Amino acid sequence: MINGEKRTAHPIRWAMVGGGQGSQIGYIHRSAALRDNTFQLVAGAFDIDPARGKAFGTSLGLEPQRCYDSYQEMFAAEALRVDGIQAVSIATPNGTHYAICKAALLAGLHVVCEKPLCFTVEEAVELRELAVSRKKIVGVTYGYAGHQLIEQARAMIANGELGDIRIVNMQFAHGFHSEAVEEANPATRWRVDPRFAGPSYVLGDVGTHPLYLSEVMLPEMKIESLMCTRQSFVKSRAPLEDNAYTLMRYTNGAMGFVWSSAVNAGSMHGQKIRVIGSRASLEWWDEHPNQLSFEIQGKPAQILERGMSYLHPSALLDDRIGGGHSEGLFEAWSNLYYRFAIAMDATDRDDQEQLSALRYPDIHAGVEGVRWVENCVRSADAGGVWVDYQ
């Protein structure tokens, strides 16, 4: 159980790039990082508009001289301070992640980066090599993975409770962009522009989330080949898709499916993962994150509840309040940031034992997300054909 105990000798001196006033995702980064006293926000380059970024940083209580006009200025100035930043989170539009992440690693910082990590596998591998050679961690905010019942699913699958895994059915299909909302909304506008969003919209923006959940739950399963088709139902979004279907063959003969969509009219998130084995299935839905459905063929379905003593001990490690009280996305993100901090601290102390026991979305997860999108786009743009997974 997480109870606010001190887990690192000192809070990590931390900054943000992006996540400024009015951004969608900035607040949950701060809330998650600051929840368990593992990070201390001391600096930031919060906004593409320097004046707005400075005003926002000071409104958060930062010293005005540590609210910078740009990330370049921040990394250079903080490197000169004895109490300079040790880590940075990147919460800017996709097209900037690669350059900022690279600059941060070169500046000797640990990084938490938004997904997608970058646009190409080549860039992702370069970042991975840089992180390894500089002995820095890169955490990637696949935030849903911090939900306790994802760990429960992983443990049950590893225990063989589902039998042989046959099918992994996934979707993240919301309806918020069923119309061209980008005409009035800047945060959607960059998402449908390849210059800022990269080679895909919904595959990278939402599809990679359940894909990462499947990687956590099924660490042994590897994709062998896939077939993807993508569409732009709002025509002005072409060549970027607002809907995509991806079929996957795994090396063990299992099949996978991911529906990624922003035009599932009437749906909220619609993020679900169902893992189907020869004996039973598990299903988790992010709009009801405190429940996991366990369905054994021929028996009544069971709903496993977060925080209950019948869960696997590894799932209960992340509990914060006990069953019945609802936990949500903010707790899930806090569970990830908590691990990011422990990983950064353990890396600095070269504590390999602690690092090997720690699971979190790391640079490898970031690379795999980019790889999946790249393969999906390759298949879709060749006419929706099966391609070997590269």
Task: Write the binding mask 23 to 62 for ligand NAD: x where contact by CB under 6 A, - elsewhere.
Answer: xxx-------------------x-xx--------------
Task: Write the binding mask 204 to 233 for ligand NAD: x where contact by CB under 6 A, - elsewhere.
Answer: -x----------------------------
The reply on whether position 366 binds ligand NAD by CB under 6 A is no
CA angle 105, 121, 91 (to 5 degrees): 50
The reply on whether position 94 binds ligand NAD by CB under 6 A is yes
Least Å distance between CB 274 and ligand NAD?
21
Q: Name 90's bridge partners.
A: 17, 113
DSSP state of 114: P
Q: Name 230's bridge partners.
A: 244
The reply on whether position 8 binds ligand NAD by CB under 6 A is no
The reply on whether position 289 binds ligand NAD by CB under 6 A is no
Burial 268-303 (b: 16+ CB within 10 A, else e): ebbbbbbbbbeebbbbbbbeebbebbbbeeeeeeee
Residue 332 C-alpha from the chain's centroid: 11
Nearest by Cα to 83 from 21, 11, 140, 9: 11
The reply on whether position 92 binds ligand NAD by CB under 6 A is yes
The reply on whether position 76 binds ligand NAD by CB under 6 A is no
Least Å distance between CB 383 and ligand NAD?
28
The reply on whether position 326 binds ligand NAD by CB under 6 A is no
Least Å distance between CB 322 and ligand NAD?
26
* Alpha helices (H) along 135-248: 148-158, 186-189, 194-197, 202, 208-217
Q: Which is nearer to ligand NAD, 208 or 281 (CB)?
A: 208
The reply on whether position 200 binds ligand NAD by CB under 6 A is no
The reply on whether position 143 binds ligand NAD by CB under 6 A is yes
The reply on whether position 20 binds ligand NAD by CB under 6 A is yes
The reply on whether position 260 binds ligand NAD by CB under 6 A is no
Residue 334 C-alpha from the chain's centroid: 13
CA angle 333, 43, 128 (to 5 degrees): 60
Q: Which is nearer to ligand NAD, 86 or 208 (CB)?
A: 208
The reply on whether position 17 binds ligand NAD by CB under 6 A is yes
Q: Which is nearer to ligand NAD, 58 or 352 (CB)?
A: 58
Least Å distance between CB 153 and ligand NAD?
19
* Alpha helices (H) along the chain: 26-35, 50-59, 71-79, 97-106, 121-134, 148-158, 186-189, 194-197, 202, 208-217, 313-316, 329-348, 352-356, 363-381
DSSP for 72-104, written as a single string = HHHHHHHHTSTT--SEEEEES-GGGHHHHHHHH
Q: Which is nearer to ligand NAD, 11 or 18 (CB)?
A: 18
- Token readout for 290 is 């405190």
Which parts of this chain interact with ligand NAD (CB under 6 A)? 17-20, 23-25, 45, 47-48, 71, 91-94, 96, 114-115, 141, 143, 187, 205
